Each structure stands twice: as structure tokens, then as C-alpha cells.
């Protein structure tokens, strides 16, 4: 992360707060000066003249109001940010009278602090830029007033070729750098046509146009834009150059001046940089692929529970992490975490942190205590990996024998529970502790652990702040409460198999910008037990061709057991086999570890739904005459595929939710 090129004076007497905020500011701002009381703060302001002052109201020797008053007497334009409590209204009013620019309410939220600093930093940097541009403008004006003698002295020492031509395009000035670049002496070129000397035949018109444009606007002393052209040396060899043209009046005669720079070296460097950039992009793509392989499959299904998730970094690499670890037949550890920062650094830390968590859980799985896991994690990360970073995490132990989830929240957004029966979502209490890495010696207490019961009618949501901190086009932030309301209002019609992906798509449809931060969402649900007369069954397989036939046969047997119709069951086997073979061969290709889920359910017709994390594709159009195969031979080996399915199904639909394809095939059944 690039540091803001500003300076801040931070005045705070309370050591813990001072050290914490100072460390945070140093990670964001180029120069930070710190004082513990008002007198020290005033001395450091006079010495360093910072761009911004951040001060608490209650500080020794000189309170914050007095300090701001004295600072404003020295520099009334300095940005001041006042720290106060909710109950200190009088101090705030006094601060307003003294011209304080902003207020922060204790305890200070780092995100809010960063927003204020970045907001004023834009103004500060803009003012600096304007001053610098004004200095440059004045220098340019002075340069135009130099005498011809000084002009010659300067141009003769220049590294760029400087040439001058009269209205007949004859060369009237040719500096030493031009001699070196083009290999023509001054005697060789003076009085000669410029374009004949330096322009290859096919580029003469380009040079003429560049000089002629300025010649037509000479009264305004206009300066043309820089052009890249191809020139030639005395020996005829060609090379790239950069040309800028202007006009000047010398002894009541207008001349056109060209500044020409040999950019052969730069062009070669640009090509090298381009190749390096392409190589870096390829390496980032590889790193992104490696990172994706470290994440759990989009769906993890056990006998009694199903986990589904989606993860999308704001850049190609991100700092969110999640995992599902089975530690026994009936127990799972699931977590979602967020490492501060973005990009490559956060991604590298994510890789190390995930491995560390897995190692700790593996070592403790026989007698797993969440507080001990977090204490061990905090000890390792604080001392070995984290410097200015920290980690928020919500760590869950899913116990299917007890039907409970025990969880520990270390500075992370709270769990949301959705009740399928009443269609309402609620936010669990924000019981928890500080993030990992805030304090090296902090001990996460066991009493901060919490537990709740789960059942088949409950969906559990774990997520990162990239979901609820997004804004819509009206500038409204979704927020945690807004996310809970969104769940209540929208997901009752969603199939819970790919709930995270459908939520993400719905947020985008509602014009929420979810691209500014990493987006991570996991759902947990107990699998409802199959009712005796219910026609509903799910099958899960990895993307391996040898498994497709086996699953197709299992589907055929299930349908036969329910309908006792061998022909109808064989149609289902054919559809499943054809579809799986197509998506495994063409959609998933070498992704043999990717999961595919199939669900059979009865809804007037038999509904077959397939979910896969393959490439996007489009259903071919349905022909009105229904003729897809020679002589209507359904089982003909040529042309089998989606058209086989069309001849059997009443309707086929396909949608894309994030990186998951959902295909629904409806097959009529007549008794």
C-alpha cells in the first residue's frame, strides 16, 4: 500500500490508544509525529509544521482546545481533527468555534479515522500540486523570455536535438545534440530542407504536418503535442524519436522549432517492461489459481450437513480466507476470516495463515477448544508473520451429534441465522473479542465462546465485511442490519444449494458495488431427512468421467425404485450420463477436483437440477420441428448431447450464478 504523502501530528496522553493509533497511522501516512501532552504537541508543530493535527481534548499541560487555538494562530489553514466523547458536547461546540475541520468520537474506529485522513489528504495534496504547477508555470514563462544568446547557450548543452526552420522549411539552427543524433554537421544541413535531411520518404508528410500545424498558429506561440515518429540518420538507418514543436519570433521573423529526442533506448526499455509486466501478470494468474486451490470446494456435503461458499477477491488476489475441516464423522470446523489489506501482501499472508490454522486444528482435534486455538494462532502470527496486519475470524465447531454450533468471534462480523419456516433472519449477539494480532500477549478467554442449537429449518451465514460495506448507486451502504433484512426479503425463493452465489448475483442486480473489497460468504445447513413418500435425492461427484456413468446408474435405480418404470428410469440415466459427460469434458476439463451436484425432485414433473463450477456456456436453441438426429434415431451415436435431452425433456433452462452453472431439466411422466 502506498503511503499518503502528508504529515500528521497526533497528540494523545493515553499510552495504549496512542501506540495503537500511531502504529496504524504509520502504516498509512508518510510522516507521523507523536506527542503525549499539549506543550510537546505545540513544540512539535512549530518544529515540523505538519499538514494535519489529530488531538484528544483531555491532554496534560495544555488541553486540546488550547492547543488547537495556539496552532491556528500560527497557521490558520492547517487541518485539525478533534477527538472527543459522546458526552462532551460543550468541547465540540468550542472546537467548532476554533475552526476544527472534523471530529472523531471515542473509541476511535480505524476505518473512520482512515476515511477522514484520506478525505483531507486529497485537499492537502491538491493544494501542493497546484503550488508546484504554479512554480512550473512561472519557470516556463521565464524560459520564454530568455535572450537568443542564452537560448543558444542552453540548447548547445542540451541532450535533445534542437532544430529551427524558417517559413521555407530551411534549417536555420542545428545544435550539437542534433549533430550527435543525426551524424550531420551544422555545415552539412544549414539552409537545407529539414524533411529531406531527417525524414524517411514514407514519413515526410508526418513531419511536415507536425511543423505546419504550429506555423499556422504562430501568433499564439502555440506548442504542439509530443509526437512519436520515425527518423533517419545520415547513413539512412531509421530510429524512433519523440518530437515536440513550437514557434518563436526572432528579429521579426517567425521560426518553427523542433525538439527531437532519440527514444530508441526508451522503446527498448518499454518493450522489456511490457514483457516483464506480461510475465508478472502470468505469475499473478498462477498465484490466483494456487490461491483458489487452497480454498474449499464451493460445496462440501456430508451425510447430515452441507456447506456452500463463494469467494471473490476485489483484485486477482485477496486476503479473505475460509475453510471447512472435518475432524470426525460428526464434527466439522468451519471458519471465515479477513486479513487486513488487499492484493499480493494479503494473499501471501492468507496462504500462511490458512496453513497455520489447519496445523493447529489438526494437532488439537481430539480435544478441540476454540479459545486455545485462537491463543495459539495469535502467538504465532503476532510474533512471526504480522507487523502492521491483523486478522478477524469467526471460528465454528459444528457438532451433528449434539446438533450445536460452538463459535468464537475474534473481531469479525456476527453470525446471521435464517429461519426457513418464518422467513426471518436474525443477527446473533456480537459476543466476542479483539482481532488476532492486535496485542501479542493477549489471552482469548474461554468465556467469550458461545453456542447455539441447529436444526433442518435453519441456514447459518458466515461472511466478511466486503458484503455489508458495499454501496448502491444512491450512495447507501447495505450494513449488517441491511444484509439481515436483505436475506429475509430475498432468499425464500432461492435454492439453498447455491445460496451464496444467488445472494451475490441479487446484490449486483440491486446495484450494489461489491467489487471494492473481497467478497466471502459461507452457508451451513443440516440436510433435511428424506420423507418416506418424497421423491427427492441428491448425488455428489467429482469431475471424473469414470464417475459419471456410476452416478447416472444410481439415478436410474432411484427413479425405478420410486416409479417402477424401467423405460422412464432409463431416460433419466441417459440424460444424466449425457449431461455429465458434456460438462466434465468441455466445461470442467482438467478440474478433476471440482464438485458437481445433482438433485432429483418431483414437482408435477420430475425436476433434475445440476450444479457445476465449469465455464459459462449457452443452451443451443430448440428447433421447432424437433428434428435433431438423422431419421429421429434417439440413440444414434452421432450428435448426442443436449439435443438428446431436448427430445426427452419438456423444458431445459440454464442460469449462471457467479462461477456456478445451474441447469434445470424438467421431464414429464405419464402413468
Domains of the chain, by residue range, sit at 4-143, 148-262, 295-526, 536-667
- What pairing do the DSSP bridges indicate for beta strands 320-326 and 331-339? antiparallel
Instruction: Evaluate whether the domain defined by 295-526 bears CATH number 3.40.50.720.
Output: no
| Contact yes or no for 239/262 (Cβ under 8 A) | yes
Nearby residues of 308 by Cβ (< 8 Å), 6 or more positions away: 298, 299, 300, 496, 497, 498, 499, 500, 501, 522, 523
pLDDT at 142 over 70: no
pLDDT at 372 over 70: yes
Q: Note the pLDDT of residue 90.
A: 63
pLDDT at 325 over 80: yes
Question: Hey, what's the torsion of the CAs at 365, 366, 372, 377, to 10 degrees?
Answer: -30
Q: Note the pLDDT of residue 627.
A: 52
User: Which of 344-348, 363-367, 404-408, 661-665 has the lowest average pLDDT?
Assistant: 344-348
| Contact yes or no for 7/32 (Cβ under 8 A) | yes
User: Which of 67-81, 125-139, 189-203, 416-430 has the lowest average pLDDT?
Assistant: 125-139
Higher-pLDDT residue of 163, 631: 163
DSSP 8-state code for residue 329: S
> Cα(16)–Cα(431) distance, rounded to whole angstroms?
23
Band of pLDDT at residue 143, cut at 50, 70 and 90:
low
Q: Note the pLDDT of residue 593.
A: 65
User: Which of 27-41, 370-384, 473-487, 593-607 has the lowest average pLDDT?
Assistant: 593-607
**Topology agreement, domain 4-143 and domain 148-262:** no
The class (CATH top level) of 4-143 is alpha beta
User: Which of 9-13, 277-281, 479-483, 578-582 has the lowest average pLDDT?
Assistant: 277-281
CATH code, 536-667: 3.30.565.10
| Contact yes or no for 85/106 (Cβ under 8 A) | yes
Give residue for cell 490466483: 288
Band of pLDDT at residue 639, cut at 50, 70 and 90:
very low
> Cα(354)–Cα(375) distance, rounded to whole angstroms?
15
> Cα(127)–Cα(108) distance, rounded to whole angstroms?
28
In tens, the pLDDT along 542-563 reads 767 677 888 888 888 888 888 8
User: Which of 10-19, 287-296, 318-327, 514-523 has the lowest average pLDDT?
Assistant: 287-296
Higher-pLDDT residue of 170, 593: 170
Give me the chain's average pLDDT, please: 83
β-strand partners of 406: 397, 451
pLDDT at 194 over 80: yes
User: What is the arrangement of strands in the sheet containing 458-463, beginning at the earlier edge strand?
Assistant: 299-301, 305-312, 519-526, 458-463, 416-419, 424-427
| Contact yes or no for 45/31 (Cβ under 8 A) | no
Q: Note the pLDDT of residue 351.
A: 79
Higher-pLDDT residue of 384, 323: 323
pLDDT at 222 over 50: no
Task: At 180, list the grid cell.
Answer: 550527435
In tens, the pLDDT along 54-85 reads 988 888 998 888 888 888 888 888 888 888 77
pLDDT at 87 over 50: yes
Band of pLDDT at residue 636, cut at 50, 70 and 90:
very low
pLDDT at 141 over 80: no
pLDDT at 638 over 50: no
pLDDT at 22 over 80: yes
Mean pLDDT calculated for residue range 400-412:
94
Higher-pLDDT residue of 209, 373: 373
Count the neighbouring beta carbons within 10 Å of the beta carbon of residue 649.
21
Question: Percent of the chain scored above 90 by pLDDT?
Answer: 24
Task: Give this prediction's pTM.
Answer: 0.60
Band of pLDDT at residue 307, cut at 50, 70 and 90:
very high
User: Which of 21-35, 128-142, 298-312 has the lowest average pLDDT?
Assistant: 128-142
Q: Note the pLDDT of residue 41.
A: 87
CATH for 148-262, options being 3.30.360.10, 3.30.70.3170, 1.10.3720.10, 3.30.450.20: 3.30.450.20
Question: Percent of the chain scored above 70 by pLDDT?
Answer: 85
pLDDT at 633 over 70: no
Amino acid at each position: 500500500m502506498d503511503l499518503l504523502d502528508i504529515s500528521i501530528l497526533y497528540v494523545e496522553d493515553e499510552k495504549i490508544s496512542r501506540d495503537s493509533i500511531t502504529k496504524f497511522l504509520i502504516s498509512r501516512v508518510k510522516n507521523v509525529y507523536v506527542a503525549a501532552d499539549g506543550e510537546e504537541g505545540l513544540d512539535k508543530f512549530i518544529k515540523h509544521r505538519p499538514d494535519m493535527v489529530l488531538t484528544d481534548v483531555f491532554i496534560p499541560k495544555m488541553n486540546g482546545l488550547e492547543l488547537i487555538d495556539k496552532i491556528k494562530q500560527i497557521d490558520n489553514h492547517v487541518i485539525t481533527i478533534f477527538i472527543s466523547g459522546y458526552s462532551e458536547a460543550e468541547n465540540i461546540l468550542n472546537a467548532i468555534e476554533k475552526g476544527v475541520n472534523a471530529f472523531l468520537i471515542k473509541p476511535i474506529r480505524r476505518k473512520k479515522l482512515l476515511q477522514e485522513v484520506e478525505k483531507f489528504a486529497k485537499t492537502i495534496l491538491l493544494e501542493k500540486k497546484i503550488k508546484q504547477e504554479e512554480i512550473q508555470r512561472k519557470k516556463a514563462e521565464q524560459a520564454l523570455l530568455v535572450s537568443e544568446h542564452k537560448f543558444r547557450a542552453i540548447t548547445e548543452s542540451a541532450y535533445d536535438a534542437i532544430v529551427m526552420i524558417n517559413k521555407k522549411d530551411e534549417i536555420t539552427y542545428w545544435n550539437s545534440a542534433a549533430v550527435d543524433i543525426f551524424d550531420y554537421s551544422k555545415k552539412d544541413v544549414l539552409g537545407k530542407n529539414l524533411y529531406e535531411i531527417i525524414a524517411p520518404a514514407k514519413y515526410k508528410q508526418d513531419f511536415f504536418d507536425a511543423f505546419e500545424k504550429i506555423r499556422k498558429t504562430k501568433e499564439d506561440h502555440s506548442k504542439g503535442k509530443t509526437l512519436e515518429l520515425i527518423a533517419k540518420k545520415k547513413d539512412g538507418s531509421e530510429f524512433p524519436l519523440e518530437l515536440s514543436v513550437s514557434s518563436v519570433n526572432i528579429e521579426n521573423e517567425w521560426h518553427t522549432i523542433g525538439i527531437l529526442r532519440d527514444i530508441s533506448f526508451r522503446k527498448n526499455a518499454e518493450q522489456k517492461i511490457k514483457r516483464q509486466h506480461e510475465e508478472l501478470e502470468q505469475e499473478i494468474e498462477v498465484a490466483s489459481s494456487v490461491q483458489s486451490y487452497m480454498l474449499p470446494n464451493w460445496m462440501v456435503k456430508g451425510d447430515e450437513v452441507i456447506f456452500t461458499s463463494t469467494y471473490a477477491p476485489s483484485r486477482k488476489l485477496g486476503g479473505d480466507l475460509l475453510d471447512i475441516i472435518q475432524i470426525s464423522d460428526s464434527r466439522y470446523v468451519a471458519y471465515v476470516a479477513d486479513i487486513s489489506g488487499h492484493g499480493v501482501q494479503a494473499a501471501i499472508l492468507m496462504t500462511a495463515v490458512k496453513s497455520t490454522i489447519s496445523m493447529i486444528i489438526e494437532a488439537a482435534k481430539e480435544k478441540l477448544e476454540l479459545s486455545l486455538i485462537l491463543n495459539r494462532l495469535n502467538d504465532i502470527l503476532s510474533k512471526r508473520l504480522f507487523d502492521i496486519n491483523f486478522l478477524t475470524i469467526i471460528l465454528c465447531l459444528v457438532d451433528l451429534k449434539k446438533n450445536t454450533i460452538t463459535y468464537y468471534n475474534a473481531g469479525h462480523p456476527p453470525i446471521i441465522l435464517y429461519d426457513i419456516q418464518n422467513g426471518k433472519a436474525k443477527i446473533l449477539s456480537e459476543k466476542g473479542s479483539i482481532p488476532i494480532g492486535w496485542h501479542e500477549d493477549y489471552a482469548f478467554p474461554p468465556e467469550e465462546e458461545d453456542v447455539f442449537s441447529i436444526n433442518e429449518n435453519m441456514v447459518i451465514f458466515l461472511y466478511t465485511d466486503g458484503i455489508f460495506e458495499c454501496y448502491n448507486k444512491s450512495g447507501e451502504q447495505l450494513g449488517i442490519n441491511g444484509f439481515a433484512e436483505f436475506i429475509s426479503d430475498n432468499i425464500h425463493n432461492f435454492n439453498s444449494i447455491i445460496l451464496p452465489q444467488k445472494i451475490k448475483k441479487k446484490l449486483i442486480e440491486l446495484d450494489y458495488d461489491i467489487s471494492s473489497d473481497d467478497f466471502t460468504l459461507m452457508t451451513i445447513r443440516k440436510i433435511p431427512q428424506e420423507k418416506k413418500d418424497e421423491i427427492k435425492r441428491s448425488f455428489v461427484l467429482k469431475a471424473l468421467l469414470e464417475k459419471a456413468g456410476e452416478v447416472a446408474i444410481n439415478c436410474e435405480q432411484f427413479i425405478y425404485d420410486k416409479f417402477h418404470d424401467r423405460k422412464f428410469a432409463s431416460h433419466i440415466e441417459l440424460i444424466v450420463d449425457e449431461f455429465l459427460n458434456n460438462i466434465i469434458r468441455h466445461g470442467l476439463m482438467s478440474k478433476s477436483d471440482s464438485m458437481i451436484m445433482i438433485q432429483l425432485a418431483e414437482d408435477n414433473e420430475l425436476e433434475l437440477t445440476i450444479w457445476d463450477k465449469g465455464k459459462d456456456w449457452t443452451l443451443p436453441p430448440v428447433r421447432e420441428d424437433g428434428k435433431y438426429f438423422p431419421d429421429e434415431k434417439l440413440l444414434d451415436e452421432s450428435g448426442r448431447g443436449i439435443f438428446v435431452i431436448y427430445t426427452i425433456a419438456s423444458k431445459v433452462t440454464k442460469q449462471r450464478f457467479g462461477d456456478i452453472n445451474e441447469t434445470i431439466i424438467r421431464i414429464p411422466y405419464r402413468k
